[in-house]
Structure 1
Amino acid sequence: MAQINLEITTPGKVIYQDTVDSITVPGTKGGFQVLRNHAPLMSTFEIGIVTVQKGDNVQYFTTGGGTIEVLNNNVLILADSMERVEDIDISRAELAKKKAKERLAKKKEEKIDEVRAKTALDKAINRLSAISRFKT
């Protein structure tokens, strides 16, 4: 199968770089898939799962959102955060969920950034969901 050059980058490092058959991202208006010869595209995506397929190998990544650029069979994903599902530490994800819930519960008593706390909770829930769905 014809392939696409893919690079996934976070502010800290390059997470993934290879030629692949398809990429699926959680677009802000709904998930979408990129295949070879896709039309040029610049889009944002949200918290969710990014799926990368190369032959029979499928890899899943959790993401906190970001942007994707598709041009001439080259795909660049700039993610706020990205983690391979197999690398997720379940105890850390559960602790992050607990802390985010506690912050949201105290929003009336303490001045907190509610949007930030809700985003942290959504990311933790996404990571835990990915573990239960995809981690072997």
Structure 2
Amino acid sequence: MKEIYVEIITPSKVGYKGEVKSITVPGMLGNFQVLFNHAPLMSTFDIGVIRIVDMKENTMNFTTSGGTVEVLSNKILLLAESFESPDEIDIKRAEESKKRAEERLKNLYNESLDFTRVEASLQRAINRTKLAQTKS
């Protein structure tokens, strides 16, 4: 069977371990997909959704806040800042984070806030909110 082994690790947990048909990762310049016999690769990835298609053709989506990925000999290692399934996301908390980040962006010129950090916070909140809404 043509499978690839995936391991996704965060600072607080092992998010996923198993054989898959494919994985799609939010690259810094757009999504990229890894299939069986992919060329060796080492890269960073961005805030977004990691999509896994398992050996039974089930598709699973997870949010991430970015990290690094290594692809070598049909093994993929992702070291992610965060990794959550839709069921793990507290939608109320995600929406509150989004609202807070939007307010900070509005007041950015009045406060000494770092635009890049505020924007990343907003992107994470939007990403989590969108995926959490898919579980309904």
TM-score of the two chains, using structure 1 as the length reference:
0.92
* Partner in structure 1 of residue 123 of structure 2: 122
CA root-mean-square deviation: 1.3
Matched residues in 1 for 2:28 and 2:127: separation? 15
* Partner in structure 2 of residue 77 of structure 1: 78
Deviates more, 1:107-116 or 1:75-84: 107-116
1:90-129 to structure 2, matched below 5 A, reads 90-129=91-130
* Partner in structure 2 of residue 6 of structure 1: 6
Matched residues in 1 for 2:98 and 2:30: separation? 24
The answer for unaligned runs of 5 or more in structure 1 is: none
- 3-state SS of 2:29 partner: coil
- 3-state SS of 1:32 partner: strand
The answer for unaligned runs of 5 or more in structure 2 is: none
- 3-state SS of 1:21 partner: strand
Residue 27 of structure 1 pairs with residue 36 of structure 2? no
Between the aligned residues of both structures, percent identity stands at: 51
Shift of residue 86, structure 1, vs aligned partner: 2.4
* Partner in structure 2 of residue 37 of structure 1: 37
Cα deviation digits, residues 31-78 of structure 1 (max 9, x gap) = 111111111111111111100111222110011111110001110011
Shift of residue 79, structure 1, vs aligned partner: 1.0
- 3-state SS of 1:103 partner: helix
TM-score of the two chains, using structure 2 as the length reference:
0.92
One-letter amino acid of the structure 2 residue matched with residue 123 of structure 1: R
**Moved beyond 2 Å, runs of 4+:** none
